[in-house]
Amino acid sequence: MSLREKLLARLLAAADFVSGAELSGALGVSRCAVWKHIEALRDEGYEIAGSPRRGYRLLKVPDALYPPLFSPLVRGKFGRPYHFYPVVSSTNDVAKELARQGAPEGALVVAEEQTGGRGRLGRAWHSPPGGLWFSLVLRPPVSPAATQSLPVLLSLAVTDGVAAFPLPSVEVKWPNDIVYQGKKVGGILVELGAEAEAVHFVVAGIGLNVNITSFPAPLEKTATSLQKIAGEALSRPQLLSAILAAAERYYSCWCREGFAPFREDYERRLCLLGREVEICCGGSVARGTVAGVDAEGRLVLVSPDGTKRRFVGGEVTFKQKPRQTLRPDEDKAEA
């Protein structure tokens, strides 16, 4: 780590002002050298408050994902090594290639823009500059079947990352969507490098519409962005680092205990709970009311005749208008 990165890491770790004396002691340089590096960071777009008596406090990091700006924000192993591309076809494709060449768990591929961003079943994913488009290499010690709950788990980590900002809460839409008032804010694409019994690697691709102000015609009515929700642009590096930290925490628990510990939390954030839906899965369509998810992250649907069915994947559409942002407990209060 360079001196600048160490300084930044100290400022990031501190919730309040850090004195110049403390910084110079920790970094082994003079207070004047600390001041010069603070000035250089300000030139790069960091907002740092300075007070003669209290020291320095980091207020805002610039909205750029270049390695020197983002790497100091990586707190754990998710995000190391960090591969950044201004433009790439699909971060999932790059991450898969890196994984095949032996990239370690936590390796991260981020692009400012994707020209061939993909959703499930080869659908196109609109990825202009301003969004967060990234893919993580994972090597979970589980069977291929157990990875089915990974998109569900990761969608929870994404909502946690978003919750680090002063925004109305976004919800999850099983299995892989992040939504706000029925509109899609983000999606997750998990791809596997595996044999029948063994997972060699997983690439978890996450796309989040962050600082995007308009969408092309086909998406105009169905998609939205965090900037539209917040009314202002958000710091993508801060958001990405919050998502990675949540994802790493959740993932390490999931590797040991599976999805069960996350079930209730997931249901609280699930926009489908108690709703009548149609689920399209492998060419067949089922209708029913969503009862929740099970310990494996499967969607539990109660058919009109009362039978319960579980789904590992599929396309869910509402048979009623999506609610605004009501939560299950608010539903009860309404009744």
CB of 247 to ligand BT5, least distance (A): 14
Is residue 181 annotated as involved in ligand binding?
Answer: no
- If binding is defined by CB under 6 A, does position 221 make contact with ligand BT5? no
Smallest separation (angstroms) from ligand BT5 to the CB of 81:
17
Span from 31-39, 163-171, 203-211, 273-281 in contact with ligand BT5 (CB under 6 A) = 203-211
Closest CB 224 distance from ligand BT5, rounded Å:
8
Cα 284 to Cα 247, 275, 278, 281, 324: the distances in Å are 33, 20, 10, 5, 29
> In terms of CB distance, is 92 or 147 closer to ligand BT5?
92
Nearer to ligand BT5, 10 or 173 (CB): 173
Whole-number Cα distances in Å, 193 to 142, 144, 228, 296:
13, 9, 36, 21
Torsion angle, alpha carbons of 161, 315, 209, 78, to 10: 40
184 is in an annotated binding site: yes
Short-list 9, 154, 118, CA closest to 70? 9
Residue 333: partners with Cβ closer than 8 Å, 6 or more residues away: none
- Report if residue 311 touches ligand BT5, rule: CB under 6 A: no
Q: Is 159 in the site for ligand BT5 (CB under 6 A)?
A: no
Give the residue closest to ligand BT5 by C-beta. Answer: 187
Beta pairing, strands 55-60 & 47-51? antiparallel
Q: Where are the alpha helices (DSSP H) in the chain?
A: 3-13, 20-27, 31-43, 67-70, 91-100, 150-163, 217-220, 226-230, 236-257, 263-268, 328-334
Residue 56 interacting with ligand BT5 (CB under 6 A): no
Q: Which residues pair with 58 in a beta bridge?
A: 48
Note whether 323 binds ligand BT5 by CB under 6 A: no
Residue of 117, 288, 292, 314 that binds ligand BT5 (CB under 6 A): 117
Task: Find the shortest distance in angstroms from Cβ 106 to ligand BT5.
Answer: 16
> Judged by CB, which is closer to ligand BT5: 42, or 123?
123
| 187 in contact with ligand BT5 (CB under 6 A) | yes
CA atoms of 113 and 126, how far apart (whole Å)? 9
Closest CA to 236 of 100, 112, 57: 112
Annotated binding site: 90-92, 114, 118-120, 184
- Binding-site residues for biotin sit at 90-92, 114, 118-120, 184
Q: Which residues bind ligand BT5 (CB under 6 A)?
A: 90-92, 114, 117-120, 123, 125-127, 133-135, 176-177, 184, 187-189, 205-207, 209, 219, 223
